[in-house]
Structure 1
Amino acid sequence: MSVAVLGIAIAVLIALRVPIAFAILGPCLLYMWSHDQSVGFAMRTATNGVNSWPLLAVPLFILVGFLATRAGIAERVFALILSLVGRVRGALGYVNIGVSLGFSWMNGSALADAAGVGSIEIPHMQKKGYPTKFAVGLTAASSVVGPIMPPSIPAVVFASVAIVSTSALFAAAIVPALLICVALAVYVFFWARGHEELRSEEFSWREVRSTLVGGLGALFAPVIILGGILGGYFTPTEAAAVGAVYMLLLGFLYRSLKLRDLPKVFADTAATTAAIMVILGASSLLGWILAREQVPQNVASAFLELTDSTFVFLIIVNLLLLVLGAVIEPTSALVISVPVLLPVATQLGVDPVHFGVIVVLNLMIGLMTPPIGGVLFVLSSVTKTPVSTVFSGVAPFLVPLLAVLLIVTFVPALSLWLPTLLGL
């Protein structure tokens, strides 16, 4: 079996909606068999791909997210931010963005953000007179912040695949994530100018004080997780473990988490982790095959023959990753594309950490676009709204997101100044 046939087989299986891990693993095993490689060696290659200390952070950050959701952290952050900006016209739009930003410090998944936070925000916005398309579109767009702002599961996976510092990648993603929030807030500001009626409750210091008590513990989570990483007190894996313990204690303190809830939380964490790890294992085997066939070197040569312009290369990469993110689950798209594209990027002088931010941002925007965009289907399920209606609400918000993507792509200092400042 040639590598071209391998690629076609994987593409066909993905098109037939075969689970991505098996769509990769099956053809890879056939390739190994056709090249007289043992199944035992293939399985060792796959398992070695997930036998990584940095990847231990993945299940721990997933656990943090599930604990935060079950403990009602998003509801508390929602109440606090609403009490602060409720008098502003279009307040719930800003609250939507703020809750996603606050929740992102505890959860590295766009789908979890869309499902957990969206189930709170969208009904509230609809009740207050916000159009359903606007509520759904903004919720989808703000959910992109979750996997970009650390702790980010895609960033951990990229760091493992590209062999770069997870801490540096976490630090590099902070400014781009904040830029997304600013861009969305600007969009909400101009949209709300034509909706004078969209004001919420009067400002009340009493309300602020009462919600601050409930939200303060949640807002302290970023200090522990990210502050510990950037301050050099924890590795990302250790920070994930500390964050999980903190969320556990916070849930018990708020009395929103019971001992009987833990088996379900742990089971959900295990199932999600297993799905990711099987994909990573299959992709590791694919990576070994691509390296054996010298695909990265061939792609690098082809790119360099086509152009030696970093600008042109990054434009092509953005277009490629946006399409890839729209049809393939982000983790799979990441582990398939990075081994091929990163060598070219480094040859053209693109910093690997900056490239990681570009890759993750592209693939997260892909979650909002048909035909496979996971966020669209999650919000369709949450709101009982057709996927086509969800996307029509999402489409206008692609403009500020793509604008941020271009800025982040071509102004690398925005991503790299913080890791440089911290010496990461």
Structure 2
Amino acid sequence: MTPDIWMILAFAGFLISGVPVAFSLALAGSVGIVAGLSPDMLATLGTNTYNSIAKYPLIAIPLFILTGLIFERSGVALRLVRFAQALIGPRHGGLALVAVLVCMIMGGMSGSGPADAAAVAMVMLPSMTKAGYPKPFSATLIAASASTAILIPPSVALILYSIVVPGVDLRALFAAGLFPGILAGLALLVPAMIVAKRFGWEGTPVAGAETLTVRATFRQALPALFAPVLILGGLRSGLFTPTEAAVVAVAYGTIVGLFLTKELSLRDLWELLGEAAIISGVVMLIIALAGIFAWAGTMLGTFRHLAEWIIGLTDNGVLLLVLVMLAVLVAGMLLDAISIYLIMMPVLIPVMQHFEWNPVWFGILLAMNIAIGQFTPPVAVNLMVTTEVAKIRLEETLGWALLFVVAMGCALALVAIFPSIALWLPSVLGYNI
């Protein structure tokens, strides 16, 4: 067997045996180096891991993670829920509509599906259960809606994609993700409303919201609603870069929590800094150790060989795009977004260039696929969070998960067939696409 096959088999073997993804990548890369290059080349491991994370745009990832944690602790989700509930009022499927809308708005602050799912589930699940919604349905709907955070800017996954794929403007990616993210949310809302009406699930006001008017709840929710405007407006105006936008978001969230909602204390802030550091450390460890795998794969020609094999499957670009999307969907059911980008993009970039797919549009399609994977068992990171809050088994949500997979799959198909859904906004804003 050739060294690159040894490396791929080693990676698969480590994963199957339960070795964490980050260490599987590093160990498989080391196997490739020893088998195909020279044991002496193991001396490059330190350089490769450092070079993988020594990139300025990566600073935005821990900062947006911290932003999501700050807004979650600041009581922002509850205020958004109260405003949405007062605006919509009690009706069939009213709380389902509230859950989807709040998840989408929260996604515009955190950029992280699991953080979005946790914040909304803590507020919405008790109210939805009291209103007659089954816990498996509620948990699945919130998990699926929270997956739109990977599309609606700012998105941690799109930040990483802009780093992995050279020449892609992150501002264009952020703009391109907005309408597909909204489309995905609407696609989830349609079956949720139909099911709620069929079973007669009646929306009831969230605790405390029944005594508040739309004007009062809007005033309370205004700081939260202004956060995405601040981030996207600053990017559009050129006032700050995407990385600087992350700093602004943290500062704004801190001000909101300490002085406006007053639900965040300095002690809480210190704890959140530590929590964000732990989460970011895991992310950065994956990126750093994946650098070993990427370097070995490049030196051995592994990625080039795989890309040539994929291109050789068919000359039909549409058929190949469908196959790629299915492969990413399966990967999304098993791996997190960061691992998927780091593992698959070195192979997919040559394929994308061969068929001349627009890299911004292709990045949004990948993100939508990965979003579906976030609430599709067996791994389903968002669903794990919401089922833990709901105190139910993951298996109980399988039927509802399949329903929402089909719904978001329809949204994905529309973006694939009509690329302008993603590309219109960045082109109007004058970004390089």
Partner in structure 1 of residue 317 of structure 2: 310
What is the 5 A alignment of 1:7-22? 7-22=8-23
Match of 1:69 among 63, 67, 72: 72
Question: 1:102: Cα distance to partner?
Answer: 1.0
Partner in structure 1 of residue 306 of structure 2: 299
Partner in structure 2 of residue 131 of structure 1: 134
Amino acid at match of 1:209: R
What is the 5 A alignment of 1:187-336? 187-196=191-200, 198-201=202-205, 206-253=212-259, 254-336=261-343
Aligned partners of 1:404, 1:414: CA distance in 2, in Å?
A: 10
Partner in structure 2 of residue 416 of structure 1: 423
Aligned partners of 1:108, 1:307: CA distance in 2, in Å?
A: 36
Does residue 372 of structure 1 match 2:389?
Answer: no
Aligned partners of 1:106, 1:273: CA distance in 2, in Å?
A: 17
> After superposition, what is the alpha-carbon deviation per residue over 1:39-64, rounded to whole angstroms, capped at 9, x for unaligned?
34122112101111111111111111
Amino acid at match of 1:167: R
Aligned partners of 1:106 and 1:221 also within 8 Å: yes
Aligned partners of 1:342 and 1:355 also within 8 Å: no
Aligned partners of 1:167, 1:3: CA distance in 2, in Å?
A: 36
Amino acid at match of 1:123: P
> After superposition, what is the alpha-carbon deviation per residue over 1:8-38, rounded to whole angstroms, capped at 9, x for unaligned?
1111211222121111112222333442243
> After superposition, what is the alpha-carbon deviation per residue over 1:59-118, rounded to whole angstroms, capped at 9, x for unaligned?
111111111111111111111111100233211010000110110111111111122211
Aligned partners of 1:63 and 1:269 also within 8 Å: yes
Aligned partners of 1:171, 1:255: CA distance in 2, in Å?
A: 32
What is the 5 A alignment of 1:325-404? 325-404=332-411
Question: Unaligned stretches of 5+ in structure 1?
Answer: none
Question: 1:206: Cα distance to partner?
Answer: 4.7
Aligned partners of 2:390, 2:197: CA distance in 1, in Å?
A: 26
Partner secondary structure for residue 91 of structure 2: coil
What is the 5 A alignment of 1:148-187? 148-163=151-166, 164-187=168-191
Aligned partners of 2:361 and 2:419 also within 8 Å: yes
Aligned partners of 2:86 and 2:212 also within 8 Å: no
Amino acid at match of 2:298: A
Moved over 4 A (4+): 201-206
Match of 2:60 among 57, 61, 65: 57
> After superposition, what is the alpha-carbon deviation per residue over 1:257-313, rounded to whole angstroms, capped at 9, x for unaligned?
000112210111111111111111121221112211223332332233221222111
Query: May I ask how many residue pairs the two structures share in their alignment?
Result: 424
Partner secondary structure for residue 308 of structure 1: coil
Partner in structure 2 of residue 30 of structure 1: 31
Q: 1:295 to 1:87 in 2, by over 3 A?
A: same
Amino acid at match of 1:268: E
Q: 1:185 to 1:372 in 2, by over 3 A?
A: closer
Aligned partners of 1:263, 1:173: CA distance in 2, in Å?
A: 32
Aligned partners of 2:144 and 2:374 also within 8 Å: no
Partner in structure 1 of residue 118 of structure 2: 115
Match of 2:45 among 42, 46, 52: 42
Aligned partners of 1:6 and 1:28 also within 8 Å: yes
Amino acid at match of 1:308: D
Partner secondary structure for residue 220 of structure 1: helix
Q: 1:206 to 1:366 in 2, by over 3 A?
A: closer
Match of 1:91 among 88, 94, 98: 94
Q: Which moved more, 1:353-362 or 1:192-201?
A: 192-201
Aligned partners of 2:180 and 2:421 also within 8 Å: yes
Provide TM-score, normalisation by structure 2. Answer: 0.94
Q: 1:352 to 1:323 in 2, by over 3 A?
A: same
Aligned partners of 2:201, 2:243: CA distance in 1, in Å?
A: 47
Amino acid at match of 2:170: T
Aligned partners of 2:69, 2:138: CA distance in 1, in Å?
A: 24
Q: Which moved more, 1:367-376 or 1:296-305?
A: 296-305
Aligned partners of 1:252 and 1:258 also within 8 Å: yes
Provide TM-score, normalisation by structure 1. Answer: 0.96
Aligned partners of 2:95, 2:375: CA distance in 1, in Å?
A: 21
Q: 1:293 to 1:39 in 2, by over 3 A?
A: closer
Question: 1:196: Cα distance to partner?
Answer: 4.3
Aligned partners of 1:24 and 1:283 also within 8 Å: yes
Q: 1:260 to 1:197 in 2, by over 3 A?
A: closer
Aligned partners of 1:21, 1:244: CA distance in 2, in Å?
A: 28
Aligned partners of 1:309 and 1:348 also within 8 Å: no
Aligned partners of 1:205, 1:268: CA distance in 2, in Å?
A: 36
Amino acid at match of 1:361: M
Aligned partners of 1:46 and 1:285 also within 8 Å: yes
Q: 1:300 to 1:30 in 2, by over 3 A?
A: closer
Aligned partners of 1:301, 1:38: CA distance in 2, in Å?
A: 26
Question: 1:422: Cα distance to partner?
Answer: 1.0
Aligned partners of 2:293, 2:336: CA distance in 1, in Å?
A: 16
Aligned partners of 2:232, 2:277: CA distance in 1, in Å?
A: 24
